A and B are shown apart, each in its own frame.
Chain A
Amino acid sequence: MGSEKGCCCGCAPEPSEEDLLKRLDEVVAEYRAKPGALIPVLQIAQGMFGYLPESALKRVALGLGKAYSEVAGVVGFYSYFTTVPRGKHLVRVCLGTACYVRGGKAVLDAFKAKLGIDVGQTTPDRMYSLEVARCFGACGLAPAIMVDDDVHHRVKPGRISQILAQYSETKGEQSWQAESPTPTP
């Protein structure tokens, strides 16, 4: 995050951290007077930065007049929030009761093995992050997982390569290789 480098496909360079913080200030200003502003502001911040860096959290605390410890407490409480940069795609495996009894744990282990990471970690190529979730409301179709905003039903360990393949080679998106530092021609 925050790198000045544009990407090789010619799209606009990612905004710098300074720009994002400025935009965050505007969000905070908009929410300041609203009750219960902290969680929506954190959600927006995470959407902007991809995760919640310390600089953003301190800005939120100052802007909303909240103690930094409280902001940190809320971030730590909800598994949705993350303070470490996430990969391009977020895989969330549901371990709610229904998914758990129908094999969610085996699905999680398969993802761990396939991606070579543990829960809360990101693959070295920054493509995938792995999280555990508690119920997407898809219990009838358990075990369920989410990749980004897509819910996948009745996932079996044997199907995960196929699921991941959809995200590795989606049209219009960069492939794994394009993410790695390739010098611009």
Chain B
Amino acid sequence: MPTVTVNTTEVRVPEGTTVLQAARAAGINIPTLCNLEGVHAPGACRVCLAEVEGARTLVASCVAPVQEGMKIKTNSKRVRDARRTAVELLLSEHNGDCQTCVRNDDCELQALAQDLGIRSIRYEGERGHKHIDCSTPALVRDSGKCILCRRCVSVCGEVQGVGALFPQDRGFATVVGPAFCSDLGDVVCVQCGQCSAVCPVGAITERDDIEKVWDALNDPTKHVVVQTAPAIRAALGECFDYEPGTVVTGKMVAALRQLGFDAVFDTNFTADLTIMEEGTELLTRLKTALVDKGQVALPMFTSCSPGWINFAECFYPEILPNISTCKSPQQMFGTVAKTWYAKRIGKKPEDIVVVSVMPCTAKKFEAERPEMNDSGVRDVDIVLTTRELGRMIKQAGVDFRSLADEKMDDPLGASTGAADIFANTGGVMEAALRTAYEIVTGRELPFDKLHVAPVQGLEGVKEASVTITGAVPAWSFLEGVTMNVAVAHGLSNARKVIEKTKAGEANYHFVEIMTCPGGCIGGGGQPRLTTDEVRKARIAAIYREDEGRELRKSHDNPVVKAIYEEWLGTPLGHTSHELLHTHYKRRSRV
């Protein structure tokens, strides 16, 4: 454990600690633009320079390890001048326009220039080549704003194992982008938007669809409904300076009403519906395998996360039969809203506009998939990310913090705690087990507070086993069977689970995959910057929300019960099959 001195503070840190980490441990902030704790420290931006006594040059603190007795200065004239030069050089190339940039007020480069008191730029020269790539429904890239920090490269390549982005060309001509500077739409990109979640500037952002929503709200012939995903309520507050992990469901509902939506509904409702369908699908697959000895693909993988679906279609098409055929809750909602709900309120599906608010950019892509039109028209019309909703509320002049809590509308606003936890890694698995176990045994899942503790937390791959005892007669074939489940978040972890399964090293029955680290609460459309601390705070908030509910199991949702009685019949029935299930297609890997 070396002891080092940072400015005037002495601090003892573990071996291998970087100068940057040591400074933070001493309560001293060194600014960075490229460093992404635990993921990426390329020493590329040169903003984190620090002075080490006895060293010839300044060191990039994010990559320089500390040594015993090191004396580090973070605020000497030499450091300040160098840091300022680095930022001025970045600004001199940055082909941006702060006043109209979507990242205005949410930009790390802008904030740093402000912190350093930069009032003029001493360097004048060529600016970065500006190419706007709007080839995908989810993301927009602006190469002129890119500062080449390569955070997106690490997140896309290492965290997600996709590798759509990499530095192309060399020197001043360097562009971080797809192969040979092509557009994202021309290469394999799962649209997860993790790149846009870590970009320090406005070089990669979600496609902004706010105007489309305003247009719909201004159209008197349209009945505009909104659905909000489970992960929104634990993050939207951050757009209004609430601490991460503040649940703002009631204010969110009030704000959506003020924006002018005709009905404020909940994707949680169709999360509960998903559990009914997906849980039944799992049990049916098990029955086919164990009783009928038929050919059936196991383990079954969850299907809620559209980035994961894109990933599987491109990289593991051989496991597509293993993926649940259930549409994601977003798409189930669109179909239910434009069929069952439309009929209830006497509207035609074409007169209803379904707007989603999602933590996710891939949901924009999912809503545009050609097959997602089972209601006869596009099932989900417009998808906003959490960040866009935050901006829209500001555009409307709504004072979010002063809003009084309001409740979701009937009928598609009804939900249970099982739906809340769809927001985080392990949640869909836990929700499914709460229902499946009870269907099979007639008893509650035998875990403390109904939580499947082994699949909670931020470990990349988590496993659990549940042994079924006391099965009811209909499911007696499962008596004594130990169900093995796995949960992975972040697509490189998904890859590990798939490889393990393919190699016969694991005998899973059910696998939950969420595209983004931490699950949807860490989605590509969430407020920036999502660190592990933020993930933990949002997840804790979601579990509190779940525990505070009267109903915590999807099959207890009264409207879900009603929808089966009135309309769907049984899970996996004919209507369900037609409207709530989908199919996947093999796509190219390069």
Contacts and interface: CB of A to CB of B under 8 A. Distances in A.
Residues of A contacting B: mostly: helix
B187 interface: yes
Given A58-B590, A62-B590, A69 B170 contact: no
B157 interface: yes
B499 to A, nearest CB: 12
A57 B182 CA distance: 15
Interface string A63-96: 0001111111100110000010000000000000
B590 A61 contact: yes
Interface string B157-185: 10000111111111000000111100000
B586 interface: no
A72 B187 CA distance: 12
A76 B168 CA distance: 6
B131 interface: no
A2 B589 CA distance: 25
A41 to B, nearest CB: 15
Given A58-B590, A62-B590, A72 B157 contact: no
Q: What is the size category of the interface that chain B forms with chain A?
A: 10 to 19
A58 B179 CA distance: 10
A67 B168 contact: no
Contacts of B167: 73, 77
Interface in B373-426: none
Nearest to B153: A69
Interface string A110-123: 00000000000000
Interface residues of A, number: 15
B311 to A, nearest CB: 13
A77 B170 contact: yes
Candidate in B170, B178, B179, B589 with the most chain A CB atoms within 10 angstroms: B179
Contacts of B165: 69
Contacts of B187: 68-69
B163 A67 contact: yes
Candidate in A61, A66, A69, A70 with the most chain B CB atoms within 10 angstroms: A69
A61 B162 CA distance: 12
A73 B169 CA distance: 6
Contact of A70 (B157, B170, B177, B188): B157
B157 A67 contact: yes
Contacts of A77: 167, 169-170
Nearest to A77: B170
A67 B190 CA distance: 13
B163 A68 contact: yes
Interface in B541-585: none
A41 B341 CA distance: 59
B170 A76 contact: yes
B168 A72 contact: yes
A174 B167 CA distance: 40
Contact of A69 (B169, B179, B589): B179
A96 B427 CA distance: 60
A166 B157 CA distance: 48
B163 A72 contact: no
Contacts of A70: 157, 163, 166
Nearest to B177: A69
22 contacts: A58-B590, A61-B590, A66-B163, A68-B163, A68-B179, A68-B187, A68-B188, A68-B590, A69-B163, A69-B165, A69-B178, A72-B166, A72-B168, A72-B178, A72-B179, A72-B180, A76-B168, A76-B169, A76-B170, A76-B180, A77-B169, A77-B170
**Smallest CB-CB A-B distances: 9 pairs:** A67-B163, A72-B179, A69-B166, A73-B166, A68-B590, A58-B590, A69-B179, A76-B169, A68-B179
Interface of A: 57-58, 61-62, 66-73, 76-77, 83
Interface of B: 157, 162-170, 177-180, 187-188, 589-590
